[in-house]
Amino acid sequence: MKKKYDFKGGVQCLPIKKDSREHFLHYLPDPEKFFIHITHSHLKKNRLRVKIGQEVLCGQPLTFGNDVIVPIHSPTSGWIENIYFSSNSSDKNQEKIKIVILSNHLNKWIRLKTINDYKKYTPKDLIKIIYQSGVVGLGGAQFPSFKKLMLSINKVHTLVINGIESEPCITADYCLMQNYMNEILIGCEIVAWISKVKDILIVVQEDKVELILRIQSIIKDKKLFKLCIIKKKYPGGSSKILIKSLIGKEIPCGKHSIDIGYLIFNVSTIYAIKRSVINGEPLIKRIVTFYQKDENISSKNFWIKIGTPINFFLNYLKINNNSNISIYSGGVFMRHLIVDLNKSIQKNINCIYIKNSKTEKKVEYPCINCGYCVSACPINLLPQEIFLYCKNSNNKKLKELNVVDCIECKVCERVCPSNIPLVKHFKIAKKIQKIIDVDNNRKKLFSYLFKKREKRLLIEKKISCSQDQISSVKRLDIFSKIQQQEKNDFTNQKIIEKSYRKKMLNEAIKRARLKR
């Protein structure tokens, strides 16, 4: 029997994914308009590559990238109808850009450069292709994949493919693996070629029996690959918990898995890397799970293009937006309420979750110090104490308790009998800690620069003093030489005068003798 990896804490999830697994992948038709939202403080107006009225093709870059962000591509062919600029009220340096694309429904692609043998290319060349294709982490963080790969070259020994969807209602990655496993394995080999890893671990949950059998049959002749099965618990998909489950070691506070030799990629990201390198396709679509929790639970998985309006998606499913339902992005645990349905599907959205809003609202009670949250926390934090210091705004204690390590999985909230929104307080504390850390780092930098300046001025002063001393010595030496020269001249003058007087005296004596 194959070993099943486990981790401390977490919660068991109800098997509500069964229905969604019976569905095949569906394709959502193109809307009339696509809305590409760009929010980044490093992206300015002059970084756009298109203008209003310009014709665009499917896969055409809309923006330039830089060392922080990747380019964004058009999901369809058509025209740029409008470009809106607005600044963020909370951050004046952060600019919001919305590009409206009117689709012609022809889906004419730009010319794609395909590659048959990626091993003929250097790792840097492949990373450049991945960067130009706009590939980011599709597990939720949207961290640029090219940056992660650049950091991992010759630093990691194991590639971990995260196929765990611990959220009970999301099956996007599951359907992707069921339908495109061969392409995912090619993507793994590409990343392994770039990072020079020795092992590839594909991690899935124990309840995905059909998928486990399928993967085992595909990789049985591939020595580089190994299948790891993890117990069905939430939140097993977090990178910190995943590494701890597999090797029994924790990622140090403030560090990344790359620092301990492990490179982690979500299966959707690996698939996008394969499509970008081999097929030349930029990232313009992803699989999104639709899940509706009501009397008749329904769940489907769709290929949806980036920029598709959420209200178009709901209208296609014949769901009327009313006060009786709440619409979220994300799963049962880590969900975010969608207030504006005119917003579009982004690269980090893997699920649209609809819940009946008429359900009884939970009443918050004071903490009873039961300790359930401490037992359930999968990364060994102390939510009970952290909450206490959050209320008292004790930032020093919050730093000692490593509040920044909280993965915001909301397990502590789920087990709390007092219905306290713990993660809400933790998020605020994390933001404050980041501000404090930035401020402290700035102070350290200024202190370092000030000390460096003082040291430089001291050295310059010493040099100046030594130069003054040298110049004064030189002056004294010259003065003494002049004095000596004057003295010598005076002595010589005396000698000359004495000899002249002696000569005159001798001549006078001679004249006197002649007269006699």
d(C-alpha 321, C-alpha 315), whole Å: 9
d(C-alpha 251, C-alpha 402), whole Å: 13
**Encoding tokens for residue 240?**
């910190």
What's the distance, CA 440 to chain centroid? 21
Is 370 labelled a binding residue? Answer: yes
d(C-alpha 285, C-alpha 179), whole Å: 16
Is 409 labelled a binding residue? Answer: yes
d(C-alpha 501, C-alpha 516), whole Å: 23
b/e map 31-56, b = 16+ CB within 10 Å: bebbbbebeeeebeeebbebeeeeeb
The dihedrals phi and psi of 255, each to the nearest 5 degrees, come to -110, 170
Instruction: Tell me how far CA of residue 373 lies from CA of 383, 401, 413, in angstroms.
Output: 6, 15, 7
d(C-alpha 167, C-alpha 173), whole Å: 11
Is 377 labelled a binding residue? Answer: yes
3-class SS shares of the chain: helix, strand, coil, % to 5: 40, 20, 40
Instruction: Tell me how far CA of residue 228 lies from CA of 183, 426, 510, in angstroms.
Output: 19, 32, 133
d(C-alpha 197, C-alpha 192), whole Å: 5
d(C-alpha 25, C-alpha 80), whole Å: 30
Is 416 labelled a binding residue? Answer: yes
**Tokens 């489950």 found at:** 245
CB-based contacts of 54: which residues, under 8 Å, 6+ apart? 79, 80
Is 351 labelled a binding residue? Answer: no
* Binding-site residues from annotation for [4Fe-4S] cluster: 367, 370, 373, 377, 406, 409, 412, 416
* Binding-site residues from annotation: 367, 370, 373, 377, 406, 409, 412, 416
